[in-house]
Structure 1
Amino acid sequence: MPDSLRARLRGVLVTRYGQLRRKLEYIVGTGERASDALQETWLRLESMPGNTAVRNPDAYLLQMAVNVATDQYRREHRKLNDADIDALFDVEDELADPERIVAARSEIIALEAALRQLTPRQREILLAAHIDGQLNREIAARLDISLSLVEKELRHALRHCQQYVGAPADMAARGGPRRF
């Protein structure tokens, strides 16, 4: 990135810090995350490619900070990989009595049956959201469907699985919208 563009973006970041922080806080949910993301954005300006074209510095910096915040959130809420999961299966559960084991296996069998009853799209959306950790908007883009359809199909899939397994009916509504 040319030094003049870098200096201009840093100047915008300094002069509009409060405004950018408020917008980012609304998006990410907390002032602390917003501040952290803006600090990281300042640092990332150094490593930007030289051929970057910026028409709207405010929008560019806000999007850059949102991307940073998303990366930070994903790092903090990283899912376990397959090796971690396998290692957890090897941990001996002192409280695992035969009755609990049978009940857990029954729930797994019921959940597998419930998943088989979903439409392929509902199953794909549910697994992408809750196993792969994808955002609803990412799922919508990948499947080339609307965000509202993803949300509707996800709610339906969750309700179906919860009813089939016997989970409390209000569990689908507990989480609220996913911000990331």
Structure 2
Amino acid sequence: MSDSSRTQLKKLLVSRYAYLVRRLERVTGSKDGAADALHETWLRLENANVAAPVANGDAYILGMASNVAIDQHRRERRHFHEDDVDALLELPDELADPERIVEARFKVEALKDILRGLTPRRRAILLAARVDGQLNREIAERFGISLRLVESELSTAIKYCLERMQESGDPYTGSRSGPRKF
């Protein structure tokens, strides 16, 4: 990459920093993670080696920063030791009062009843996506169906569950996604 391209990308990163952080928050899950990824991207731009001029600077920076964020996430996961996990598990749960536990158990039972109302395939797709964290592509391969059908079945299953939960008096407003960040 020529010095002028590097300079342009760095200027773009500085001038559009707030926008880029907001966009990266979706990838990292936090503003701090997005900021860290952009700072690392700034450093990597110094050594970037691209022969062609960059047509879309935002896309180039966001792609580079997304890769940085994924690398950081993988590094953090590797550095978790069993001792750390054991220490975290021994911390007392301040939110686990008996009333909340009973309420949570009722919600789990209600959700199990609702899940029984889904077709077996639709239930399996929902659990694979939202509990197991599988990607839609992996689910499509597992069931031998198209990606579009997985998306349709998943959407229908989520809508069905939300409607049944609301009918039962649970005004659930939380996230509709599962453990699928990276």
Give the TM-score, by structure 2 length: 0.49
